[in-house]
Chains A and B, each alone.
Chain A
């Protein structure tokens, strides 16, 4: 694999802008064309450059951010699971539920029950950083995660922070 710093700092800064835009509006659609435009990169190079820079393909990054927002809303809001699915950018409740379970290991409903039963000692962390603590650690493809789970070799992921 090419070393990360084959990408110039100027390009990395522009790729960061695409990542920031997904962070700011993860419920929106982010086709490669749109992201490439934000970064001032050709569509052909965008996905590869993004993965080289951030270690994760852009669509998977977006997925992780959506699940992260969903976990926050499940924990902290009274919105129904259906409302949360549509708020966080999913077009079908089924896809949301399935992906959520594949990433976190729980269904949205189970997650909500556990999260509410667990007291947090995180009151002193500014709320805007707290989300990062709960960010799903999606470093592998969901399909790969499923394979490993089936083989019984799934890592601890982030269970310890719940």
Chain B
């Protein structure tokens, strides 16, 4: 696919920490990691989704002033960012695998009318749902 949504970003509190989490714990791959002074453009990809990149960005200059950046860091830490969904084939298996790797789960797998979902957070506070769709 050559057109469509290509990059969507998350705000994270620390890009090294986020990189370790998304790559080592969730199994994403690094797509781009480029620095220019203090600025770092960092995106990762789900291994089965080559047309989409998830950006892991820190709020700050040059786009944002210090006070705005501080507010955003607080909002992320309070879990105030929008929901994220990771689709999986087998929610319970994914839960077991990620839990064993030390992912902070906020909800164990629950059956809801045939779909199964669990919840976890990244180290910054971004909340993910792990959803196995109804078959």
Give A residues with C-beta under 8 Å from B. Answer: 4-5, 7, 9-10, 12-13, 15-17, 19-20, 23-24, 53-54, 126-129
CB closest chain-B residue, reference A17:
B104
CB closest chain-B residue, reference A13:
B77
Interface size counted on chain B using CB atoms at 8 A: 27
A126-B117, A127-B112, A128-B110 known; A54 vs B78 contact (CB < 8 Å) = yes
> A13 touching B125 by the CB < 8 A rule?
yes
A23-B107, A24-B107, A126-B131 known; A5 vs B113 contact (CB < 8 Å) = no
Q: Which residues of A contact B117 (CB under 8 A)?
A: 126-128
A39 to B31, CA, bound (A): 35
Which of B36-44, B67-75, B93-101 binds A? Answer: B67-75
**Which residue from A9, A53, A128 sits with its C-beta under 8 Å from B13?**
A9
A23-B106, A126-B131 known; A5 vs B70 contact (CB < 8 Å) = yes
Question: At the interface, is chain A mostly helix, strand, loop or mixed?
Answer: helix
A-B contact count (CB 8 A): 57
CB closest chain-B residue, reference A128:
B117
> B112 touching A9 by the CB < 8 A rule?
no
Q: Which residues of A contact B73 (CB under 8 A)?
A: 9
> A10 touching B115 by the CB < 8 A rule?
no
Q: Which of B71, B78, B108, B125 has the largest count of A CB atoms less than 10 A from its CB?
A: B78
| CB within 8 Å of A: which B92-135 residues | 104, 106-108, 110, 112-113, 115, 117, 119, 121, 123-125, 129, 131
> A128 touching B71 by the CB < 8 A rule?
no
> A16 touching B125 by the CB < 8 A rule?
yes
Does B9 sit within 8 A of A, measured CB to CB? no
Q: List 17 A-B contacts (CB under 8 A).
A: A4-B74, A5-B70, A7-B74, A9-B13, A9-B73, A13-B123, A16-B79, A16-B125, A23-B107, A24-B106, A24-B108, A53-B78, A126-B115, A128-B107, A128-B119, A128-B129, A129-B83
